[in-house]
Each structure stands twice: as structure tokens, then as C-alpha cells.
């Protein structure tokens, strides 16, 4: 090992970066006006060498940083929030208010900030009911994220340190641009490294596949039937195996005639989808038994239906619940080929395809919103394939 290699492996005990990437000298402590910040960081994000939660934590005197997913046993966190006069959480839930509304509050708030990718943040949000009991606030950034080395899922999304700086500005009305100094410097360093001619390429851009229509739907696109399922919570399963679960909401739409199928059944294990408000009181009143659901589903199906689903998981889940299933074309696989990339979830795929965003109707279940997006995705892919487009 050379002296240079040894210096690269040494880590700063404060910022926990490699010595060559230590940002401690660039930190600019911020005046918070009494506001306190609490960062809840997903463990996967804690391993990210370019993560910004610790950077934000070190920039805000008196802030706290906790790492985990389920914080129900984190006694120090609970005590901290119990003592807070005005605890709140920074999360763009449907009922979140602009954080600016706290600017003239009688007491300085304690702001909880969730750190992780959007899917990681949602998981923390769902697994910790105490977070959903706090008043939720959102920030409305004045400029897009400058996290050029990492794509954000939407224009309003920011890195954690950018969100913390924007939150401070929302609370006191002054700019906290100096807080971003280590972040911008680190991003510039990473960008310079990525375009360096001395850097060996780690991957090659995927070429769009030739335009095609999946075999089942190519034979009879007019018989398309989109099938979508939401389920209760389930335990983790080994890689490659479908986890145990039960169908909660089964939706289907026959595109030629516009016929729809919609039913809710209450499973034995009433998991996270119930506590998260996915199942309403009206759903509970109109829920059918598992046996009735199977009977109604058999009556709805036509022999000529050609199934379309987002991944094969919903079909496996239906089979586990005793519902009749058939061979299905995978819309996600088709979408990945058209985009030459992983499309992610259904809303993200619709965004990547350039489909117009339509705000969901109040009270509409997530599965109902997603089946509308699946229909729009299918029609776009079919139109583009018919036009001979190789990619989008």
C-alpha cells in the first residue's frame, strides 16, 4: 500500500468522508433562530458517500441525526419530540401546508426531515405512525435541485441539505446559501471526476430496442384488459420468491368496451395499507368476502381478454388468493424497452413517457389512480410502436 492509498482510506471522524473528500473546512454553521432540526436517515442513504444529511446536521447547531427505518423504539427521539413545543415534519403529504406559515408562530418549531430516496422516505413515513401524527409541512423551492450527480424524481425534489436550507429560509425569510458551500463543492468535484478522460467508463448507455408490441397484445390489441392489484402488508421473502400476501383491491378495465371491475375484500392481515388510509370506511362497508370476490371475478372475465399488468407480481398475488389468472404481458418490461432504462414505478414511468400530469381526485385510492396511468401508458406505447418508434 502506498502512502497515497493509505490517506484515501483514512476517514475524518467528524464528516466521515475519506480524507481527500473531507468537507469540514467548508462547513458554515447557520443561525436557526431557535428552530431545531431532526434528521431521520435511511440506513442505505447513510452508506452513500455523497449523502447530504450529515452535511446538513453539521451545519445546524443543535440538530440531531438518527439512522434507521423503524424509529418506534428510539427513546431519545421520542423524548426529544415530546419536549418540543411545536414539532412538525417536512413531508409533502396531501394535507401538508407551506412551511412559511410557521414564520410568525409563537414558538420556534422542531422540524423532522426524512433523508433517503423517495421510496425510502415513503417507507419511513409509513412505518412510523408518530410521524403521521405530526403536522406536515412542505417547502416550495425557488430553484431546482443542484444535485447534478443524482437525478431527483420530480422538479420539486431537493437533496436533504438543500431542503434544510430552504426550510430555514422559509422560517426566517433570509437566504442560507452559505450552508450549501460544502455540498456545491462536493458536487463540482464529482462532476469533474465523471468527465475526466482518465476515468474508466463503468457502464455504457443502453441502446433503445427496436419498436415492438408484446406477443399477446400484438395478436389482438383490441382485447386488452388492464388488471391491477393492491395488497396488504407482507413479510419479506428471499430474492426471486414472491412474498405471502393477500389481495385487498382488485381493479380491471376492458379498453374496447370501457367495462370496469372494482372490488375490495378485507384480508386476514390488515397491514400498512389500512393504517395509511388506503382503505376507507366506505371500502369497509362495501367489502366482499374472498369467496364472493373470486365468483365476481370469474363472471367478469371474457375468453378473448388479453391481460396487461405491471410486472408479474400482481398475477402471482392473485393466484395465492385463489383468483383465476391467465397469461399476461408485462407493461413494465415493454416500457423499459421503449425507454431504454428502468422506468421505476407506474407514476415515474408515466412522467418519463411525457404523459400529462393530472392531479388525483380527492379520496381516490392509489390503485384507482394507477390503473388510469396504466391505460395511458399502454395507449402511448401502442401508438409509438405502431408509428415505428424505436425509443421515446
First to last CA, the chain: 48
Q: What is the pLDDT of residue 57?
A: 94
25 in any annotated domain: yes
**Same structural domain, 183 and 254:** no
Give the Cα separation of 104 and 90 in Å (integer).
18
Give the Cα separation of 152 and 180 in Å (integer).
17
Number of Cβ within 10 Å of residue 207's Cβ equals 9
The CATH number of the domain where 101 resides is what? 3.40.1280
Number of domains in the chain: 2
Q: What is the pLDDT of residue 285?
A: 84
Give the Cα separation of 263 and 250 in Å (integer).
6
Q: Are strands 64-67 and 36-41 parallel, antiparallel or unpaired?
A: parallel
**Same structural domain, 286 and 361:** yes
Residue 110, beta-bridge partner list = 36, 87
**Same structural domain, 254 and 288:** yes
245 in any annotated domain: yes
Give the domain-ending residue among 194, 229, 253. Answer: 194
231 in any annotated domain: yes
**Same structural domain, 154 and 16:** yes
Q: Would you call 178 helix, strand, or coil by DSSP?
A: helix
Give the domain-ending residue among 194, 228, 257. Answer: 194
**Same structural domain, 170 and 228:** no
* Contacts with 220 (C-beta within 8 Å, 6 or more apart), sequence order: 304, 306
Q: What is the pLDDT of residue 112?
A: 96
208 in any annotated domain: no
200 in any annotated domain: no
**Same structural domain, 288 and 348:** yes
Q: What is the pLDDT of residue 267?
A: 73
**Same structural domain, 175 and 43:** yes
- pTM score of the predicted model: 0.50
Q: What is the pLDDT of residue 300?
A: 95
Grid cell, residue 30, equals 447557520
Q: Are 351 and 154 in contact (CB under 8 A)?
A: yes
391 in any annotated domain: no
Mean pLDDT by 10 residues, the chain (392 residues): 50 82 89 94 83 90 93 92 94 90 91 91 92 91 61 58 92 91 81 58 55 76 90 54 70 92 81 58 84 94 92 86 89 87 89 81 79 92 74 38
Q: Are 340 and 391 in contact (CB under 8 A)?
A: yes
274 in any annotated domain: yes
Nearest to 385 by CA among 211, 179, 148, 145: 211
Give the Cα separation of 134 and 67 in Å (integer).
19
The CATH number of the domain where 237 resides is what? 3.30.420.10
**Same structural domain, 225 and 360:** yes
Give the Cα separation of 308 and 315 in Å (integer).
10
Q: Are strands 136-138 and 97-98 parallel, antiparallel or unpaired?
A: parallel
**Same structural domain, 219 and 188:** no
Which residue range(s) make up the domain with 99?
A: 10-194
**Same structural domain, 149 and 255:** no
**Same structural domain, 121 and 247:** no
228 in any annotated domain: yes
**Same structural domain, 372 and 306:** yes
Give the Cα separation of 187 and 192 in Å (integer).
9
Amino acid at each position: 500500500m502506498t502512502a497515497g492509498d493509505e490517506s484515501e482510506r483514512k476517514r475524518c471522524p467528524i464528516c466521515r468522508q475519506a480524507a481527500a473528500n473531507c468537507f469540514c473546512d467548508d462547513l458554515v454553521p447557520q443561525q436557526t433562530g431557535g428552530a431545531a432540526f431532526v434528521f431521520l436517515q435511511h440506513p442505505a442513504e447513510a452508506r452513500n458517500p455523497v449523502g447530504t444529511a450529515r452535511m446538513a446536521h453539521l451545519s445546524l447547531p443543535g440538530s440531531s441525526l438518527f439512522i434507521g427505518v423503524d424509529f418506534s423504539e428510539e427513546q431519545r427521539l421520542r423524548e426529544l419530540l415530546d419536549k418540543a413545543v411545536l414539532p412538525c415534519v417536512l413531508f409533502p403529504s396531501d394535507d401538508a401546508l407551506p412551511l412559511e406559515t410557521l414564520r410568525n408562530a409563537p414558538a420556534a418549531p422542531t422540524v423532522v426531515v426524512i433523508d433517503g430516496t423517495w421510496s425510502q422516505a415513503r417507507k419511513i413515513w409509513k412505518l412510523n405512525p408518530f410521524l403521521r401524527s405530526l403536522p406536515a409541512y412542505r417547502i416550495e423551492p425557488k430553484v431546482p435541485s443542484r444535485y447534478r450527480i443524482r437525478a431527483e424524481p420530480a422538479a420539486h425534489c431537493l437533496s436533504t441539505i438543500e431542503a434544510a436550507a430552504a426550510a430555514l429560509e422559509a422560517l426566517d425569510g433570509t437566504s442560507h446559501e452559505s450552508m450549501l458551500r460544502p455540498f456545491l463543492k462536493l458536487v463540482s468535484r464529482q462532476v469533474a471526476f465523471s468527465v475526466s478522460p482518465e476515468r474508466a467508463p463503468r457502464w455504457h448507455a443502453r441502446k433503445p430496442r427496436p419498436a415492438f408490441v408484446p406477443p399477446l397484445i400484438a395478436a389482438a390489441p383490441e382485447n386488452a384488459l388492464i388488471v391491477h392489484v393492491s395488497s396488504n402488508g407482507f413479510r419479506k421473502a428471499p430474492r426471486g420468491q414472491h412474498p405471502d400476501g393477500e389481495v385487498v383491491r382488485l381493479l380491471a378495465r376492458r379498453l374496447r368496451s370501457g367495462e370496469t371491475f372494482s372490488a375490495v375484500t378485507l384480508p386476514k392481515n390488515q397491514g400498512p395499507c389500512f393504517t395509511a388510509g388506503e382503505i376507507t370506511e366506505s371500502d369497509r362497508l362495501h367489502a366482499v368476502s374472498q369467496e364472493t370476490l373470486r365468483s365476481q371475478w370469474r363472471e367478469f372475465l371474457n375468453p378473448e381478454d388479453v391481460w396487461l399488468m405491471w410486472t408479474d407480481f400482481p398475477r402471482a398475488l392473485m393466484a395465492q388468493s385463489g383468483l383465476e389468472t391467465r397469461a399476461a404481458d408485462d407493461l413494465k418490461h415493454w416500457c423499459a424497452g421503449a425507454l431504454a432504462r428502468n422506468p421505476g414505478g407506474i407514476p415515474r414511468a408515466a412522467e418519463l413517457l411525457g404523459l400529462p400530469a393530472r392531479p388525483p381526485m380527492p379520496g381516490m385510492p392509489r390503485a384507482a389512480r394507477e390503473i388510469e396511468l396504466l391505460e395511458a401508458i399502454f395507449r402511448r406505447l401502442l401508438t409509438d410502436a405502431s408509428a415505428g418508434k424505436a425509443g421515446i
